[in-house]
């Protein structure tokens, strides 16, 4: 399953542009990792909020897709930033809170990982993933 997920990630030019890796992908769970580079920063030397939001958005979509199957998209996402994202990598861990035929509600925690491997929560996210209707995804 993780190989399938990695193929999808490799097909996302934006994810390869940033350098994102899918490190866990199971039924109801997904985990993405991004080694932080200078180009991911904002003016204070932290990872840009947009990078953090991207990590949450993408991890939520993977988690939702793992239970909904087929093509999915993120309908909406909410991100609370809890701490400056300082470290050598970001890890986004998403899990499914509730899922049915029409939606999966997922949560994601984004951690900044220090040199010594210690993780600090830098964002908490929640969002809705939905299946793409067949007539749209069929193309």
How far is the C-alpha of 115 from the C-alpha of 112, rounded, in Å?
10
Query: Among residues 24 and 120, whose Cβ is nearest to a copy of itself?
Result: 120
Tokens for 4?
Answer: 């399938």
Nearest approach in angstroms of CB 66 to a copy of itself is 16
Smallest separation, CB 91 to a copy of itself (Å): 16
Q: Distance (Å, rounded) from C-alpha 94 to C-alpha 61?
A: 9
Closer CB to a copy of itself, 102 or 115, in the complex: 102
Q: What are the helix (H) ranges across 19-133? A: 49-68
C-alpha distance across the termini of the chain, in Å: 23
CB of residue 116 to a copy of itself, shortest distance in Å: 21
Choose between 24 and 103: whose C-beta lies nearer to a copy of itself.
103
The continuous run of DSSP H or E covering 18 comes out as helix 13-18
How many other C-beta atoms are found inside a 10 Å radius of the C-beta of residue 42?
A: 13
**Chain positions contacting a copy of itself, by CB under 8 A:** 8, 11-15, 17, 38-43, 47-51, 53-55, 57-58, 61, 73-83, 97-98, 100, 102-103, 105, 107, 109, 121, 124, 126, 128, 130, 133
């Amino acid at each position: 399953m993780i190989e399938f997920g990695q193929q999808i990630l490799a097909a996302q030019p934006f994810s390869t542009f940033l350098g994102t890796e899918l490190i866990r992908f199971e039924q109801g769970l997904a985990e993405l990792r991004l080694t932080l580079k200078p180009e991911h920063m904002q003016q204070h030397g932290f990872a840009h909020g947009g990078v953090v939001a991207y990590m949450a958005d993408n991890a939520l979509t993977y988690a939702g897709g793992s239970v909904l199957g087929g093509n999915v998209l993120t309908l909406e996402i909410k991100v609370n930033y809890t701490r400056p994202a300082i470290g050598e990598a970001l890890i986004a861990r998403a899990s499914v809170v509730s899922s049915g035929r029409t939606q999966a509600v997922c949560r994601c925690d984004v951690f900044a990982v220090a040199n010594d491997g210690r993780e600090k929560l830098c964002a908490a996210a929640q969002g809705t993933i939905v299946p793409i209707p067949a007539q749209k995804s069929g193309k």
